[in-house]
Structure 1
Amino acid sequence: MDLFSLSWTALRTAVAELADEDFARPSGCTGWLVRDLVCHLIIDAQDVLITLVTPAETEPTRDAVTYWDILEVPAADDPLDALIVRLASAYEEPWLLKFHLDDVGSAAGRAAELADPAVRVGTRDEVLTAGDHLLAYVLEWTLHHLDLIAHLPDAAEPPAEGLARSRELLEKIAGAEFPSSFTDRDALLIGTGRRAPAEAEKAELGDLAAKLPLVLG
């Protein structure tokens, strides 16, 4: 729970510190500007809020690792992705996006702090504990923090603890460990296809290279 708060606070702080012109820069999400990514974070915050107040009575069907589906290829022409781009442009002024993220994001953060990690909740027609749901979002926040700063070299990096835990989650999803020579940041970027491995890195990956990239959905 603490790691969720740490990762989420760091990401929201990074957004709050953006200059207006940064919102028109590309993000690490293919086809999305920074403003589109920030709009997506607002949707994510809403998802956290909705899930935490959607109790479930049945046994968990997913955990923080199996929460993620591995897609064969990125979803093409996803209507939600298209909606996010249109919605982001409708904000017109960057401060409006900052305000909405701070408003909804703060509420999601408070809800997470108040949640009982053992309580079972429902989302995406699946059941998992609130703790596992929030842990899955540590990976989401960390990856999107890297996306946010992909073309902003002076921006703050995600917390080291979040990077390390996200790497562990991704390795469990992959069913294999990344080479110890890889930094947590590079393991996440290469593992999810956000950066192509150099030839030397590809050689170090060995059989794992054939499983990459892991497109998470």
Structure 2
Amino acid sequence: MDHFSRSWNALLDAVAGLADEDFERPSGCTGWSVRDLVCHLVIDAQDVLITLVTPADTAPTVDAAGYWSLLDEPPSGDDPLDALIPRLAAAYGEPRWLKFHLDDVGSAAGRAARLADPGARVSTQGKVLTAGDYLGAYVLEWTLHHLDLTAHLPSAPEPPPAETLAAARALLERIAGAPFPGSLSDTDALLVGTGRRAPTGAEDLGELAARIPLILG
């Protein structure tokens, strides 16, 4: 729960510090600008609010790692929601309105997370899990998108907090079913593990080489 708050607050602060011209730069999400990514974060925040008030009365079916599905291929942009994001992002016009909406909805999502009972069961996308596991899964989302946000900025904001980078790496290793080499930093493990960059010749991934990239959906 603490990792959720730290990773989310750090990401909101990073967006708040963006210059207007940064919104037109590419993000680390293929095909999306920084503007598109920030719009996606608004929808993510709405999803958090919706899920935390969608109780379930059955036993959990997944944990934080099981929340994530592994896709065979990266998103093509043809999915209706993926295709909607750039159009919706453009409709905001000036970046300040997108910042305002993210701060408004994002602050509410952060408060809802702090007030949530970690043992309560919630339902989303046909899955049931505890609120604690659901919020834990989002630590990976926020941390990856923080890296995406700053991937191509000439003057990058603060990186994700070290403790949330470590928590996101630990969750990605659970999803992968094996640890990343200790020689990889947490940031590099996340970038290489999710296909955001290719491993270098000096980065020996061992048995993980056949399993990555892990395309999360």
Q: TM-score range by the shorter chain?
A: over 0.9
1:139 paired residue number: 140
C-alpha displacement of 1:155: 1.5
Local SS of the residue matching 2:65: coil
When the two structures are superposed, what TM-score results if normalisation uses the length of structure 2?
A: 0.98
Local SS of the residue matching 2:128: strand
Equivalents in 1 of 2:189, 2:75: separation in Å? 23
One-letter amino acid of the structure 1 residue matched with residue 159 of structure 2: E
1:178 paired residue number: 180
Residue 164 of structure 2 is aligned to residue 162 of structure 1: yes
1:97 paired residue number: 98
One-letter amino acid of the structure 2 residue matched with residue 163 of structure 1: L
1:178-210 CA-to-partner distances (Å, cap 9, x unmatched) read 110000000000000001111111xx1022111
1:189 paired residue number: 191
One-letter amino acid of the structure 2 residue matched with residue 190 of structure 1: V
Residue 198 of structure 2 is aligned to residue 211 of structure 1: no
One-letter amino acid of the structure 2 residue matched with residue 178 of structure 1: F
Give % identity.
73
1:38-65 CA-to-partner distances (Å, cap 9, x unmatched) read 0000000000000000000000001100
C-alpha displacement of 1:168: 0.4
Equivalents in 2 of 1:162, 1:177: separation in Å? 17
2:38 paired residue number: 38
1:16 paired residue number: 16
Equivalents in 2 of 1:122, 1:205: separation in Å? 35
1:69 paired residue number: 69
Equivalents in 2 of 1:104, 1:90: separation in Å? 17
When the two structures are superposed, what TM-score results if normalisation uses the length of structure 1?
A: 0.98
One-letter amino acid of the structure 1 residue matched with residue 210 of structure 2: A
C-alpha displacement of 1:75: 2.9
1:8-28 CA-to-partner distances (Å, cap 9, x unmatched) read 000000000000000000000
Local SS of the residue matching 1:199: coil
C-alpha displacement of 1:74: 1.5
Equivalents in 2 of 1:206, 1:161: separation in Å? 25
C-alpha displacement of 1:147: 0.2
One-letter amino acid of the structure 2 residue matched with residue 61 of structure 1: T
The gaps in structure 1 that reach 5 residues or longer are none
The gaps in structure 2 that reach 5 residues or longer are none
C-alpha displacement of 1:79: 1.1
Equivalents in 2 of 1:3, 1:168: separation in Å? 12
Local SS of the residue matching 2:26: coil
C-alpha displacement of 1:2: 1.1
Equivalents in 2 of 1:74, 1:96: separation in Å? 30
Equivalents in 2 of 1:198, 1:3: separation in Å? 30
One-letter amino acid of the structure 2 residue matched with residue 193 of structure 1: G
